[in-house]
Structure 1
Amino acid sequence: MRKLVMMSALLLTGWSVFAQYTIKGTVKDATNGEVLQGVSVVLFETTFGQPTNAKGEFSFNDLKAGKYKLIAYMVGFKRYENVIDLNGNLDLSIALEVSTTSLDDVIVTGTRATEKTPTTYTNVSAEEIRKQNLGQDLPFLLNWTPSVVTTSDAGAGIGYTGIRIRGSDPTRINVTINGIPVNDSESQGVFWVNTPDFATSAADIQVQRGVGTSTNGAGAFGGSINILTNGLSQEARAEVNTSVGSFNTQKYNAIFSTGLLKDKWAFEGRLSQITSDGFVDRASSDLQSYYLSGGYFGKNTSVKFITFGGAEVTYQSWYGTPEARLRNDAAGIEAVIANNGFTPAQAENLRNSGRSYNFYEYDNQVDDYGQDHYQLHVNHSFNSEWNLNVSAHYTKGAGFFEEFRTGDDYSDYGFDNIVYQRDTLSSDGVNSEFGYFNSDFLNNFENDPEFVFNPVLNSAGDTLRDGANNVIVEAIAQRTQTDLIRRRWLDNDFYGIVYDLNYSSGKIDATFGGSINEYIGDHFGEVIWARFAGDNDIRERYYESRSEKFDFNSYFKMNYQANGKLNLFGDLQYRRVDYTGVGIDNDLRPIDFDREFNFFNPKLGAIYQLNGSSNLYASFAVGNKEPNRSDIIDAAPGVNPEHETLNNLEIGYKRQTANGAIEINGYLMDYKNQLVLTGEVNDVGAGIRTNVPDSYRMGIELSGTTRLTKGLFWSGNVAFSQNRIQSFDEIIFDFGPAFDEFNEVRTTFEDTDISFSPSIVAGSQLAFRPTLGLEVSLLSKYVGEQFLDNTSNDNRKIDAFFVNDLRVNYSFTTELIKTVSVNLLVNNILNHEYESNGYTFGYFGGANFEVRENYFYPQAGTNFLLSVGLSF
C-alpha cells in the first residue's frame, strides 16, 4: 500500500528543475495559418510529450545545451520532425501541412476521441509501441495504460492472451482497426492470437475507458481499443527485426515500403513469424502473419486497400493449474485426482509437475485457426469543410481445436454402442434377476467394460423363468465408451460497409456515420480417430449449427465551440441487431433461437478550458449490449438472457505543462441486467453468465508524467474502484450420494464484489535517458486481489501481485544502415510467483460431500526478450 500512496503522491506533486534553455513555439495549419490545438509535440530526451494548448502553443523548459529531436504530429497532417542543436532559447513557428497521404488518419475520425471530446481515453503512440514490441501480444503492449489488467494462458504473453479494462472482460471491449469492427460477432471477444505481431503495423492506438464515443461493432461496455494502421511512408524504406528470448521464443519480421511513387501510389508490406514454447508445459505457439497495403492518392480522392491476417497453431493450456498444485498441497492434489476421475497417467502428470503444470499431454492438443482481413477505404474531400469516407470489409476465418478424450460415451457423439454378442440365458444364481449368470458368457468378454441383462417378458408382461426357476434374460456384451480424438470447427464470414461524413467549419465539427455488417458462422464437430470405432462413421459431423447476425448502427456526433472556453459535445446512436441460430450444439442439444435488439445510445458532455494548460470535462453516456452466443445456448432451461444497459458518468480534470502532465477522472458505471459470471464454466472453459438486476463500478483514476531531473522521467497511473452487485444468486448442483440425480442449490449474496474487478490497479514507468538514443526503464505493475466469482469469498480469489520489468532501448545510425535498434526486456526481474487469471467451480455429492476447486493461470518468473532491428 505504501508503494501506491507514493505513486499517488507523485502524480499530484508539482515539478521543477533548474537548467539553462527553453524551447517553445506555436503550431499552425500551413494552409490557412490557423493555430492548431491538440497537436502532439514530443521532444525526445525530455518529457513524454505534450499537446498544444488552445493557442497552439507548447513549451519545454530547463534544457541543457545539446541535440534534441522534436516531433509534431496530428491527425490529417504530415508529421514534422527536426533535430535541434540547442545553445540558446528558441521560439519556433511550426506549420503542419495537410497530408495528401493521410487516409489512415481520416478514416478513424468518426470513432476517435479528440482533445474536444469529453470522455476518458489514452493514446499510445507508435514510439511507445515500438519500445515494448519484442514479440508479446498486443494486450501486453497496452499493460501500462490506466485500469488495464492483462493475462496469458501460456504465462509469457505469447499465444492466447487477454485484457480487462476497469474489470470488464474482452467481450465488453470494442475493438476496431481503421474503424472496422474486429470483435467476433458471436463471442464478442477478440482473439489476438489470430493477428500476431499486428502491433508492428500499428501507427497509433487509442484506448477509451467506459462507454466512450459511438463506434462500430460490439457495444463498448468497459472500454474500446481503436487501432490505426501505418500511414504510407513518403520515402522508400526496408526493415528487418529479430527477437529471441526465454522459453525458446523467436520472432522474425521483414517490412518494406515503396514510398510515394509518381506522387500518386504507395505500397507497404510485412511478414512475421513468432514461435515460443511458453512457460506452461507444452503451451507452445507457432504464429505467422502478414500485412499488405496499397493506395492511390489523388488531389481530392484517395483509395487504399489493406489486407492482413494470421495463422496460429497453439498448444492448449486452457485447463489451468489446480490451486493444490500451486500450493504444493499433497492432500489437495490427491483430492483433485479423485474428484475428477483422473487416469493413472493424468494423476502422475499432476503429482510430478510444478507451477507450469498442463493437464493436456496428447501431442496434437492444439488450436489451429487462420483469419484473413480485407479492407477497402475510399476517401473524398469535397472542399475544406466536407469529407466522406466509405469502407468495405470482409473477414474470413476457419479452423478447429483438437482434443484427445479418455473414456467418452458413444452416446455423446450420436454413435451406437459396439455390441459384441447377444444371447438369451438362464441365470445361474437365485439372489436376483441380475445375480450370477452363465459363466461361459462372461468369460468370453471378461475385458469388456459393460454387460447389460434385460429380463425377457412374456405377452402378459411377466418375467420368464426356466424349469429351475432361473430368470431368463437377454444378455448383451457391449462397449459404451472409447478413447477418441475430436475436432470442433468454426468456419465464418464477416463483411459489411462502414461510412462517415465529416463537416468542420468554425465552431462546429460534426460526423454522421455508421455501419452495416453481416456475420455467418458454421459450427461443427467430427471425431477423427477412435480406439474402438465399430461400425460408426467417425468422419461424419456429429453436430452442426449455423448462426447469422445482422448488425446496423447509425450515429450523429457534434462538437460545438460555444465560446473561447466552453465546448459542447453530443452523440446519438441507434443500433439494431438480429441474431439467429439453428442446428445441434456440441453437447447434442438442439439450438433454435431468433433474437432482435433495438438500442438507443445517447451521449452528452462538455469541456471547459480553465486556462491555456488545463481543462475540466464531464460526460454522460448510455450503452446497450446484447447477450453473446454462449449466454444464450448455455442458459438454464427456460431462461432467456436479457440485454444489458450501462449508464456511464465521467468527470475529469487535465493539466499540461512544459515539464509534465496530470489527469484525474472519476467515473460511475451503473448497470441494469449486467451479465456476470456464475463461477461455472462450460465444456471448453468459457465462463457461464447470468443477468443481475443492479450492479455498478465506481472509481477514480489518476495518471501523469513528469521530469524528475535531467534525463530522468516518470509516468504512472493508479485507479481505485468499488465494483459491486446488489444481489447475486449463486447456483451449484447437488448430485446426491450416487451421482445419478441432481438438484440446484441456490444461495443469495447481498452487496457483493464483481468477479475479476480489482479495487486497485497501478502502473509506473521510470525512465532514464542519459544520452540521445538510449533509454533504460523500470516498469512496475500492481494489481489488487480479484475474486473468481461473485461471492466475495476469500477462499476463491486471485492474490494481489506486484511485478517489475526492466527495459532497455538503444538506437543509433551508421553510414550503411539508417537505424540500428537494440531492445532488451527482462520481465518479472524479482522472480515473483503470481497468477493473473483463473476460475472456480463447486458441487455437492450428498450432504457430507462438498467439492470446491480453484484453477489459476500462473505467469512466468524472470524471463527475457532481446531484439535487434535494422532499418534501411
Structure 2
Amino acid sequence: MLKKLVLTLSLVSILFLNLLSQSKIKGYVFDAETDKPLPGTNVYIENLKLGSATDQNGYFEINNVPAGKINVVASFVGYEKQKKQIDLSPGEEINLNFYLKPTALPSQTIVVTALIASERESPVVFSNLDKQQIKDFYTTQDVPILLSELPSVLSYSWSGNGIGYNYLNIRGFDQRRISVLVNGIPQNDPEDHGVYWLDMPDLLASSNAVQIQRGAGSAFYGPPAIGGSVNIITSNFSLEPKISLFTGYGSYNTKKHSIAINSGLIANRYSLYSRLSYIATDGYREKSWAKFPSYFFSAIRYDDNMTTQINLYGGPFEDHLVYRGIPKEWVKDKTKRRANLNYMDVTTRDDEIENFSQPHYELLHEWRFGENLTLNNTLFYIRGVGFWDMDASWGDTVYFRLSKPYAEKFNFAIPSENPGEAIARYFIDLNQYGWLPRLTLKHQNGELTIGAEFRIHRGFHWGKIVWAQNLPKGLPSDYRFYEYKGAKDIISFYIHEFWRLKQNLRLMASLQFVYNRYRVYDEKEFYDYDTGKWVSNEFSVPYYFLNPKIGISYDLTQNINIFGSFSITNREPSRRDLYDASDGHWYPWGKRPNFEVKPDGTFDFTKPLVKPERLFDLELGAGYFSDDYKFTANFYYMDFRNELVKSGQLNIFGDPIIGNAERTRHLGVELTAEIKNLLINGLEFTGNATISRNRIVKHGEYVWKNPYTGESYSTPQRISLDGKKIAGFPDYIGSARVSYRNYGFLISLLGKYVGEFYTDNFNLVPSNNVARKDRKVDAYTVFDLTIAYRFEKILGLKNIELKLQVNNLFNALYAGSGVGDDFYPGAERNYFVSIGFDL
C-alpha cells in the first residue's frame, strides 16, 4: 500500500512539474495598415508541430509550448510573413501582437523570375505599366494603343479607333519580331509570327501589370525577341469578396459592359475570379464594326509550399473586314478618309465578315522546396478556329481551280466564263499545346534559372467560294480551291544566371538553345501548267539557334546606376515567308515557294531562299533614381545580317510581304523622365523620347520597272537601296503625360509625337519618282485627355469612378502607318464616358 502511494505521488509530481514547465503564447494579429483583425491567420512555432489559427477577432492561443528560445511565425495569404523570437521560461505566459503588412497575392508573382526585369538590378532596358495606370487609362482600347505612350512604342489601328485589328511596333520593329507573352506563355502565332490582339478582348481588364523589355534576347519563351518583348501578367484576385460593374458609351456607337466577381479569400486557401465583358463599335472607318464578347475565369489554391492557378479566357468575336488602307491624298480629306477602300477598290461589300474564337487554357504551378529552390511548371492549350469572307471578284477560273483540268478531275462542268463577283471563305483551325518548366535556385550571391520550352502547333487551312455570279454546274458545295496543313515543333532550353559580384555590382548572363521545325503537308493537289502534272508541296525545314546574352549593372552612387549588355539573337522567318500556300501558288502571278529551283523546274525544299535574321545588339544605359525623380538614358546599336524588311507590297490578306536585306543597322538614344509632386503635391510628369537612325547598309531589289525613272526592263534589274531609310521605322518618336491627382480627382493629358517614315524601301516621294508616288507617312502629334473622379462610397456603392476620355483632342488628321500605297488613318476627335463601381 505504501509503495502504491509513493508511486502515485511520484507520478503526480512529475506531471505537475511537467505542467509547470509548459508555457503558453497568446495574442492578436492585425492588418498593419487598417488595424483590423485578420481572422484565419496561421500562427505557429517554427520547426515544431504547434500552432493555431486566429478567430474572428484575430485572437490566437498556443498551449503546451516547451520552454526555451523559439521563433513564433504569423502567416496570412496576401501579407508579408512576420517572425518574432522569444525566450520562454517554464510555465510562462506571453502575449504577442502581430501587425502584418499587405503585399501582392502569390498569384501575381508566379511568373516573376528571369522573365521580369527589376529597377537598378537587371541590366535590361524596360518600362512598366502597373495596375493603377491600367485602371486609370484603360477603357476599351486594345493593348497596343494603351502601350503606345511607353518609350519607343508605336501603335496603329486598321479601324482607326483602336478596337479590332491593332498593331504594335517597338523601335520600329513590327510585332512579328516582338515576343509577346501572357503570364509567360507565348502569344505569337507559330506559323506567321503575328499577334492577334482581338483574340484576347478586354484582356487588360483582368491584368495586373505589363512590362516591355526593349532590345534583343529579352524573352526566353516564344520566338526570340528582336525589337523587344511584352509580358502581360493577369491577376485580379482580392482578399475581400466583391462584385465590380462597368458600363460606358462613346463615339462611333462604341459601348462596353462588364461584370467581374471576386470571391475573396476562402478558408485562407482559395480564391476565384471571373469576368464577362461585351465591347462593340461601329468603327471609325466605314463598315468597320466589331462585336467582342469575352470571358475570363481564374481559380487559385495557396498551400504552404506551392501555388496552383488555372486561367481560362477568350471570346468568340465577329467583325467586318477592314484590311485595306486608303490613298495618301485621302488622309487629310474628311469626306474620304473614313472609307474602307484602297486606290483600286470601288466599293466595300457588306458580306466581308469574320468570325473567330481562340480560347486559352492555362495551368500555372509553383512549388517551393524551401527558401532557395523553386520549380515552376506551366501547361497551356490554345485553340483557334474561324473564318473570314473576302471579296474575291478579281479571281478567275485558274485562281479558284475551276479551269478545265480541275473540272475533268472533279467531275463538274467546264466553266465558260470567270466567276465574276465572288466571296471567298478562308478557314483556319489551329491547335497549340505547350509545357514550360523552370527551376530557380537562389544561392549565396545570386540566382540561377534553368528552363525549357516544349510546344506543338498544328494548323488546318482551306478556302472555298461562298458565293459567285457564275459557277460551273455540278460544282460541289464544299469544293475547296486550296487546302493544306501547317505544323511547327518548338524545343528550347536556357540557362540564366544573375550574380551579385558586390553589393553594388551585378552580372547577368544567359544562353538559349532553340530548335524549330516547320512542316507543310497534305496540300491539295493542283495542276502545274508548265509540266502538265498534278503536284502538291510538302516540306520540312528545321532551324537551330544559339542565343547568348551578357550584361552588367553597377551603382555609381546611391541614386545613380549604369548598365550595359550585349546579345546575339537569331530568328527564323515565318512559315508564310517560306511558302504562303493560301496566296495562290498555282496561280500564274501567285506567290511561289521561297526555295531554290532545281534544273527540272521543281523546288529544292532543303534550300530556302529566305534566311533567318541575325542580330548583334549592344545596349548602354544610365539612370538617376530617387523618391520623386527618375531619369534614364539608353543607347542601342543593332547590327543585322539578313534582316526581314518590308518590300512595300501586301499579300491578298493585307499583310506586308517581306524579304531579307543583306545588312542593315539601327542605332538610337532613348530618354525617359518621371517627376512626382512637380511644383505642387499631386502633379506628375512622365515623358520619353527616342532619336534613332535606321538604314540599309547593303541591299537591293530586282524590278521590271525602275520606280524612279519609269524605265522598263526585258529582264529584272537590281536597284541598290544602300543608304535608304528602312520602311516602317520613324527616326523620332516621343510622348509626354502630365497628370494631377487630388482627393479622388484625376486629370491627365497625354501627347504623342511620331516622326515621318517611309512605306517602302525605295523611299518614294513625289519629287524623286516619275509616277509622283508619295510613300511617306507624315509626322503627326495627337493629344488624349482623361478626366476621372472616384468616390469611396455613396448610396451603398463602393469605389465609384466616373471617367471621360477624349482621344485626339485637337482633331488631327493623320495616318498612323502605311505599307506601299495603303495608309491607315487614325480616328478624328472622339470620346468615351464610363462609370464603374463595386457592390
TM-score (norm 1): 0.76
Partner of 2:511: 572
Instruction: Quote the offset at 1:253 in angstroms.
Output: 1.0
* Aligned partner of residue 211 in structure 2, secondary structure: strand
1:493 lines up with 2:431 in the alignment: yes
1:268 lines up with 2:287 in the alignment: no
Amino acid at match of 2:495: F
Superposition pairs of residues 799-838 of structure 1, within 5 angstroms: 799-815=778-794, 816-838=796-818
Aligned partners of 2:470, 2:254: CA distance in 1, in Å? 39
Amino acid at match of 2:831: F
1:861 lines up with 2:821 in the alignment: no
Amino acid at match of 1:765: R
1:384 lines up with 2:353 in the alignment: no
Q: 1:668 aligns with which of 624, 637, 641?
A: 637
1:764 lines up with 2:768 in the alignment: no
Instruction: Quote the offset at 1:407 in angstroms.
Output: 5.3
Aligned partners of 1:601, 1:279: CA distance in 2, in Å? 43
Instruction: Quote the offset at 1:416 in angstroms.
Output: 4.0
* Aligned partner of residue 420 in structure 2, secondary structure: strand
* Aligned partner of residue 814 in structure 1, secondary structure: strand
Partner of 1:746: 718
Instruction: Quote the offset at 1:539 in angstroms.
Output: 2.0
Partner of 1:606: 552
Instruction: From the superposition, tell whether residues 586 and 614 of structure 1 become closer, same or farther in structure 2 (CA, over 3 Å).
Output: farther
Q: 1:403 aligns with which of 390, 406, 410?
A: 390
Instruction: From the superposition, tell whether residues 587 and 703 of structure 1 become closer, same or farther in structure 2 (CA, over 3 Å).
Output: farther
Amino acid at match of 1:581: V
Q: 1:650 aligns with which of 604, 619, 622?
A: 619
Instruction: From the superposition, tell whether residues 780 and 591 of structure 1 become closer, same or farther in structure 2 (CA, over 3 Å).
Output: farther
* Aligned partner of residue 410 in structure 1, secondary structure: coil
Superposition pairs of residues 102-501 of structure 1, within 5 angstroms: 102-115=106-119, 116-326=121-331, 354-359=336-341, 361-406=348-393, 408-416=395-403, 478-501=416-439
Instruction: Quote the offset at 1:94 in angstroms.
Output: 10
* Aligned partner of residue 194 in structure 2, secondary structure: coil
Instruction: From the superposition, tell whether residues 284 and 310 of structure 1 become closer, same or farther in structure 2 (CA, over 3 Å).
Output: same
Instruction: From the superposition, tell whether residues 797 and 94 of structure 1 become closer, same or farther in structure 2 (CA, over 3 Å).
Output: farther
Partner of 1:469: none
> Which deviations, in whole Å up to 9, do the C-alpha atoms of 1:445-480 show, x marking residues without a partner?
xxxxxxxxxxxxxxxxxxxxxxxxxxxxxxx99223
Instruction: From the superposition, tell whether residues 596 and 819 of structure 1 become closer, same or farther in structure 2 (CA, over 3 Å).
Output: same
Partner of 1:40: none
Amino acid at match of 2:417: R
Aligned partners of 2:106, 2:187: CA distance in 1, in Å? 22
1:545 lines up with 2:525 in the alignment: no
Amino acid at match of 1:695: T
Instruction: Quote the offset at 1:708 in angstroms.
Output: 2.2
Partner of 2:664: 695
Mapped contact 1:501–1:512 kept (Cα < 8 A): yes
Aligned partners of 1:685, 1:743: CA distance in 2, in Å? 28
Amino acid at match of 1:869: G
Instruction: Quote the offset at 1:367 in angstroms.
Output: 2.1
Aligned partners of 1:688, 1:250: CA distance in 2, in Å? 35
* Aligned partner of residue 478 in structure 1, secondary structure: coil
Instruction: Quote the offset at 1:700 in angstroms.
Output: 0.4
Aligned partners of 1:283, 1:259: CA distance in 2, in Å? 40
Aligned partners of 1:418, 1:298: CA distance in 2, in Å? 66
Mapped contact 2:206–2:236 kept (Cα < 8 A): no
Instruction: Quote the offset at 1:250 in angstroms.
Output: 0.3
Partner of 1:617: 563
Mapped contact 2:218–2:228 kept (Cα < 8 A): no
1:523 lines up with 2:461 in the alignment: yes
Partner of 2:501: 562
Which range moves more in the overlay, 686-695 or 531-540?
Answer: 531-540
Aligned partners of 1:94, 1:154: CA distance in 2, in Å? 52
Identity of aligned residues (%): 29
* Aligned partner of residue 316 in structure 2, secondary structure: strand
Instruction: From the superposition, tell whether residues 539 and 483 of structure 1 become closer, same or farther in structure 2 (CA, over 3 Å).
Output: farther
Superposition pairs of residues 30-45 of structure 1, within 5 angstroms: none
Instruction: Quote the offset at 1:685 in angstroms.
Output: 1.6
Amino acid at match of 1:804: F
Aligned partners of 1:282, 1:403: CA distance in 2, in Å? 13
Mapped contact 1:528–1:539 kept (Cα < 8 A): no
> Which deviations, in whole Å up to 9, do the C-alpha atoms of 1:218-268 show, x marking residues without a partner?
111101001111152221111011121100000111101101111121110
Aligned partners of 1:493, 1:283: CA distance in 2, in Å? 28
Mapped contact 1:379–1:388 kept (Cα < 8 A): yes
Mapped contact 2:391–2:422 kept (Cα < 8 A): yes
Instruction: Quote the offset at 1:192 in angstroms.
Output: 0.4
Q: 1:714 aligns with which of 681, 685, 701?
A: 685
Aligned residues: 691
Instruction: From the superposition, tell whether residues 353 and 732 of structure 1 become closer, same or farther in structure 2 (CA, over 3 Å).
Output: farther
TM-score (norm 2): 0.79
Mapped contact 2:577–2:594 kept (Cα < 8 A): no
Aligned partners of 1:275, 1:362: CA distance in 2, in Å? 20
Which range moves more in the overlay, 395-404 or 359-368?
Answer: 359-368
* Aligned partner of residue 127 in structure 1, secondary structure: helix
Aligned partners of 1:775, 1:553: CA distance in 2, in Å? 46
Instruction: From the superposition, tell whether residues 418 and 156 of structure 1 become closer, same or farther in structure 2 (CA, over 3 Å).
Output: same
Aligned partners of 2:351, 2:199: CA distance in 1, in Å? 19
Instruction: Quote the offset at 1:411 in angstroms.
Output: 2.1
Mapped contact 2:461–2:483 kept (Cα < 8 A): yes
Aligned partners of 1:282, 1:628: CA distance in 2, in Å? 31
Instruction: From the superposition, tell whether residues 670 and 418 of structure 1 become closer, same or farther in structure 2 (CA, over 3 Å).
Output: closer
Mapped contact 2:640–2:665 kept (Cα < 8 A): yes
